[in-house]
Structure 1
Amino acid sequence: TKLKCLTFPAGFCIAHTRGFNVGTAGAKIFTGLAVEEFGYTVQQLSNNQGKWLLVGSPWSGYPQNRKGSLYKCDISASSVICQKLNLADSVSIDGVQSINVNMSLGLTLTPITCGPLWAQRCGSQYFYPGVCADVSPQFTLQSVFSPAVQTCGGPMDVAIVLDGSNSIYPWPDVRNFLIKLLENLDIGPDKTRVSIMQYSKDLSFLYHFSSDQNKEKVLSAASNIEQKTGTETNTFAALDNVRQTAFLLENGGRPGATKVLVVVTDGESADGHKGQEVIERCNRDGIIRFGIAILKQSANIQKFIEEIELIASTPTENYMFNVSSEKALINIAGTLGDRIFNIEGTSQGQEFQLEMSQVGFSAHQTNKKDVIMLGAVGAYGWSGTVVHQTAGKSHIFLKNAFEKILDDRNHSSLLGYSVTSVMDGSSEFYVAGAPRAVHRGQVIVYSINSQNQPVIIDSQRGDQIGSYFGSVLCPVDVDTDSVTDLLLVGAPMYMSEEKSETGRVHLFTITKGILSNQGRLEGPSMLENARFGTAITVVPDLNLDGFSDVVVGAPLEGNGQGAVYIYNGDRKTIRKQIFSVTCSFRNHSNMRICYSIITVYY
């Protein structure tokens, strides 16, 4: 059997013959654009037309965008031309406003391909849940899915209550703020509806909720609003009136809609003694409230602030704004609009949950072939999590599943940066890397219980800050008995005492899910900026001794020339000394050639 080991990006291929020697003569080279990261991922695929390489180019389209693409390369053909597959435009989810620009399709490529930066639009907001799809043997996308796709904010009725008393001046500044705020809302019959009111001594309705609302109509009405005027400011009487009447069905309110109230005022109310009881009634009715205070020297600032804090929902910092003048209102209109929209999108203003998940940042098909693991590095404020995709169903593990073991106080672990699985007899254990956990990196081993929830078995942390320990994972069955003998963990940013990013690869045995440190592979010189361990893979027996071997990429070695290190298997372990260094040649454009490694049979 003839074997070729391909290393990318830049599409470089290193040929191996039957024997122990490894050389580059006669290599078949597939090339693509380096700026598009051609070759970032590679997968072999067979169909009735032959054997192919499927090559990821996740920055395809750069610099206009990084939509990403896949290429098919015929292994058996005499030519070395790869054909681009225009698949990115086929990515869509029913009922979702898809934003395919910059999604980096092809960043991961196993039996599926993913675009972790695929976005969806909800009103004026963009979320990045990520998207994945099966690639058929005929090179078409099938079963496009996005496990973390968001349900855009449901129907929302927003009542905007403006203080129109004489102290508000100049009025056009308030009107400009109102228009800017409305421009930031997703207004429509089945989306956000708006009612506009003014008050001083009493409350006046200027524009009701209606079933035919659209942004153009509401903006037209807002642009013609004149100041009510008046010498009294009965804020709480106005709010109670809004609570009782504005959201009624006869005034265009919807029973299932989220009720939101926005009040803008410039001073202490004349009926502050009613405040507590009015707000308690608003709370009982489930009305979410934003308080905007225009602070003026003539007001009792402390008492006024206390009043606005009472009006605003909790946590107050998310629902209260203050500005120094009517003119300054315009500066908060965009932020206020986003906060209103995010009531539905991010658990009423709290931290992001799954909105920025980037599902598909990593992917792995388990040994038993019944689960595809997907990393979701952006979930839960970038603590990260893992998704298990099984038979068309997605299981997204909640934050509390890994929260205790990560101890992620800074929300930056990036769990799911890498994923894999290991076998111990008939038992399969799942492994996920979190290269920024506690700044040192972490690897977590877990199983799945009968309730389909993860059970933490073991964890290991890196020993150097910033090393990105856990960013690369590679299980090795040295003697091919279907039991994982070693787990190799890359720390490609590991810095030597000479301040070079040499990189390291750590060895762990794994027994019933428990990791045991077995040292590390001997790699580049401590003086070398190599990033050794950026890519790690198992290759079939190169030296014909009956044991699988391991190849480790060091893409920055030799001033970016790149190198591949080969380590021979030995019974149930790996010899830590280097057998050979290859890739030690410079291509015509000085590209890095050892970012990803794959073994191909033909």
Structure 2
Amino acid sequence: PGLCEGFNFDVGHSHVFQGPPKSQFGYRVLQWGGNGDKWLLVGAPWDGNGQGDIYKCGVGLQNSSCAKANLGTERGGCEWGREMDLTHCCVLMSPPKACAPLWSQECGTSMFSSGRCVQLNEEFQLVGTIAPTAQRCSTYMDIILVLDGSNSIYPWEEVQTFLGNILGRFFIGPGQTQVGVLQYGEQLVQEWALGQHPTAQHLLEAARNLTRQEGRETRTAMAIRQACTESFSPAQGGRPGATRLLLVVTDGESHDGDELPAALAECDRRNVTRYAIAVLGHYLRRQQDPEDFIREIKFIASDPDEKYFFNVTDEAALNDIVDALGDRIFSLEGAGLRLGSREGAFELEMSQIGFSTHHLEDGILLGMVGAYDWEGSVLEESQRGRIVPPREAFQEEFPLELKNHAAYLGYSVSSLQLPGGQRLLVAGAPRFQHKGKVVLFQLDPAGTVTVAQALMGEQIGSYFGSEVLALDLEGDGDSDLLLVAAPTYLGDQSRETGRVYVYHVGQDRLSPAGSLHPEPRLQDSRFGSALGAVPNLSQDGLTGAVVGAPLEDEHRGALYVFHVAPGTLLPQCKQ
């Protein structure tokens, strides 16, 4: 009789799906079924010129093909395509969700990669957006320019040039800055309201066409009161939550100066920050002392004067302060970006949420590798609400004196169910002290972290903790093993063979239980780059494991299958 060798996966009759060249089709895959149909969801992060997309591939029919989701186009009102860079889409999870950790929002001259995930239905339509770390831009500003158009302003063309130049310094657009202009002399004219010109091009064209209203009087108090009480109102395009900023440009003392205190009090009640510019041309041309005028304009400006007050010799000199004025305005708004944080430190602006995901019994655990200056963190979205640990939550495991170490906590996430009923969250930090660390912890609704145990890598550069996998071998609901990968672990002759560590789950702690082994060949392998659980692998009700090795066989890649032994996994692969 001949000999035969058993197998779990029939590689001789595989069904191969192919995507567009250079799209990295297969970056992530997810099995998905419903109504008797079976599908394979496939991520292609470089599809569509790097925008990224996912494909839905039918399983079971020999001639079935893959349908593109077209997530890079505007659908369902979620503005996924218009707002986001889908590069590194898609991290996939069930029920169907797709995450793009590099989803970015443009704020002024900065680009913040906070990340975003979306919920899909069976028709691949977007039914919800998960962007818990997306933050309002610091340039979310409503600005009213109050321009003196009285007879004494001369030449008007210089004021137009200044207006065009300062508008060019603002970041105009939805979610950022919008500008309105009010011109005054004896009368008030709202030249245009907030948001009336939604693009920089439209604003600059309006500035070029602005004519002087003229008038014998300069009623500055009336103009300021009108701007603060009416021009920022929703009826005039004002937005709730936008920073309100008033910019007053005038060349003479007001004829209603006794009304200034009341007008400025209205501005203060509405949280309007005021910049004021005194144009001295009229006084210098007549050789008059501008001291009282300067005192009034300083009174109009918010405190301190050195930040909010400007004076120029004449109308032409307005253009000499454009850069300084723009820098001060942007500095004001930038200060609000990290309110309450360490100076110069990032909070969640670069969190890249969704870099890793894990389905909890009542929600989702999301990794945030870029949070807190790339120290990393996690976020739980569950029936308990949205829980974000503060920066100091993991301070004992990641001391502040190791600042800028970029541990990448949240590079991988999972959870363990201990035999006693306690649940522990798991997060990998593969760059911690260059050796890597895995933290097992509890997270309460207030964001307080209680660390139960920390596992340390043993080799520099091994990326220990880049992948983690909890295994319930017998299907009883309790976790039996935790697998921790170190895919760039160096073996003989400095080959990137990779290693997968096995930890046995006890009543309250984990203990080392050896490691899994790839084939003993001298080659680069990166064994452990992907880990997966396979329920009922050998039709015995037990859960086995598969381990990916993408560099094996000269980058062709390999998948290793590991069977269950009593309470653990056999260290040698079965297929």
TM beyond 0.5: yes
| Cα root mean square deviation, aligned | 5.2
User: CA offset at residue 407 of structure 1?
Assistant: 2.8
Residue of structure 2 equivalent to 1:42: 29
- 1:340-379 map, 5 Å: 341-347=333-339, 350-366=344-360, 369-379=361-371
- 1:306-455 map, 5 Å: 339=331, 341-347=333-339, 350-366=344-360, 369-390=361-382, 393-407=385-399, 409-410=403-404, 412-425=406-419, 426-449=421-444, 451=446, 453-455=448-450
Q: For each residue in 1:149-184, what CA deviation from the matched residue of structure 2 results, as whole angstroms up to 9, or x when unmatched?
A: 32345864658999xxxxxxx9999888635314x3
User: CA offset at residue 342 of structure 1?
Assistant: 3.8
Residue of structure 1 equivalent to 2:90: 106
Q: For each residue in 1:279-302, what CA deviation from the matched residue of structure 2 results, as whole angstroms up to 9, or x when unmatched?
A: xxx9999887999xxxxxxxxxxx
User: CA offset at residue 147 of structure 1?
Assistant: 1.8
> What is the alpha-carbon distance in structure 1 between the residues aligned to residue 248 and residue 453 of structure 2?
52
> What is the alpha-carbon distance in structure 2 between the residues aligned to residue 411 and residue 290 of structure 1?
41
Give 3-state SS (helix, strand or coil) of 2:425's partner. strand
Give the counterpart of 1:146 among 122, 131, 137.
131
Is the Cα–Cα contact under 8 Å of residues 473 and 567 in structure 2 kept in the other structure? yes
Q: Given residue 471 of structure 1, which amino acid in structure 2 is its aligned partner? A: S
Residue of structure 1 equivalent to 2:52: 67
Q: For each residue in 1:57-106, what CA deviation from the matched residue of structure 2 results, as whole angstroms up to 9, or x when unmatched?
A: 23221x3x3232232323x2122422223344356676999513434432
Residue of structure 2 equivalent to 1:181: 169
User: CA offset at residue 505 of structure 1?
Assistant: 1.2
Residue of structure 2 equivalent to 1:566: 561
Query: Larger Cα Rg: Structure 1 or Structure 2?
Result: 2
Is the Cα–Cα contact under 8 Å of residues 474 and 489 in structure 1 kept in the other structure? yes
Q: Given residue 357 of structure 2, which amino acid in structure 1 is its aligned partner? A: A
> What is the alpha-carbon distance in structure 2 between the residues aligned to residue 397 and residue 60 of structure 1?
34
The answer for unaligned runs of 5 or more in structure 1 is: 1-16, 163-169, 198-205, 226-240, 265-281, 292-308, 314-324, 583-602
Residue of structure 2 equivalent to 1:27: 14
> What is the alpha-carbon distance in structure 1 between the residues aligned to residue 144 and residue 344 of structure 2?
22
> What is the alpha-carbon distance in structure 1 between the residues aligned to residue 451 and residue 191 of structure 2?
51
> What is the alpha-carbon distance in structure 2 between the residues aligned to residue 187 and residue 142 of structure 1?
23
- 1:474-553 map, 5 Å: 474-496=469-491, 498-512=493-507, 514-525=509-520, 527-540=522-535, 542=537, 547-553=542-548
> What is the alpha-carbon distance in structure 1 between the residues aligned to residue 63 and residue 422 of structure 2?
44
> What is the alpha-carbon distance in structure 2 between the residues aligned to residue 389 and residue 476 of structure 1?
23
Q: For each residue in 1:379-434, what CA deviation from the matched residue of structure 2 results, as whole angstroms up to 9, or x when unmatched?
A: 23322222222259533333233344233611622222211111113322211112
Give 3-state SS (helix, strand or coil) of 1:375's partner. strand
Is the Cα–Cα contact under 8 Å of residues 537 and 550 in structure 1 kept in the other structure? yes
Q: Residue 261 and residue 412 in structure 1: after superposition, are their counterparts in 2 closer, same or farther (change >3 A)?
A: farther
> What is the alpha-carbon distance in structure 2 between the residues aligned to residue 456 and residue 43 of structure 1?
31
User: CA offset at residue 30 of structure 1?
Assistant: 2.1
Give 3-state SS (helix, strand or coil) of 2:554's partner. helix
Identity between Structure 1 and Structure 2 (%): 31
Instruction: Report which structure shows greater RCO (CA 8 Å, sep ≥6).
Output: 1
Is the Cα–Cα contact under 8 Å of residues 500 and 527 in structure 2 kept in the other structure? yes
> What is the alpha-carbon distance in structure 2 between the residues aligned to residue 458 and residue 158 of structure 1?
52
Q: Residue 81 and residue 462 in structure 1: after superposition, are their counterparts in 2 closer, same or farther (change >3 A)?
A: same
User: CA offset at residue 531 of structure 1?
Assistant: 0.8
Is the Cα–Cα contact under 8 Å of residues 46 and 137 in structure 1 kept in the other structure? no
- Larger mean CA deviation between 31-40 and 555-564 belongs to 31-40
Residue of structure 1 equivalent to 2:44: 57
Q: For each residue in 1:340-382, what CA deviation from the matched residue of structure 2 results, as whole angstroms up to 9, or x when unmatched?
A: 554554439853322332222211112xx31211222222332
Aligned residues: 503
- 1:4-15 map, 5 Å: none
Q: Residue 72 and residue 327 in structure 1: after superposition, are their counterparts in 2 closer, same or farther (change >3 A)?
A: same
Q: Residue 193 and residue 29 in structure 1: after superposition, are their counterparts in 2 closer, same or farther (change >3 A)?
A: closer
Residue of structure 1 equivalent to 2:120: 135
- Larger mean CA deviation between 397-406 and 467-476 belongs to 397-406
> What is the alpha-carbon distance in structure 2 between the residues aligned to residue 435 and residue 284 of structure 1?
50
Residue of structure 2 equivalent to 1:89: 73
Is the Cα–Cα contact under 8 Å of residues 247 and 259 in structure 1 kept in the other structure? no
Q: TM-score, normalization: structure 2?
A: 0.69
> What is the alpha-carbon distance in structure 2 between the residues aligned to residue 373 and residue 252 of structure 1?
41
Is the Cα–Cα contact under 8 Å of residues 502 and 513 in structure 2 kept in the other structure? yes
Q: TM-score, normalization: structure 1?
A: 0.66
> What is the alpha-carbon distance in structure 1 between the residues aligned to residue 306 and residue 373 of structure 2?
25
Q: Given residue 13 of structure 2, which amino acid in structure 1 is its aligned partner? A: G
Is the Cα–Cα contact under 8 Å of residues 210 and 252 in structure 1 kept in the other structure? no
- Larger mean CA deviation between 537-546 and 511-520 belongs to 537-546
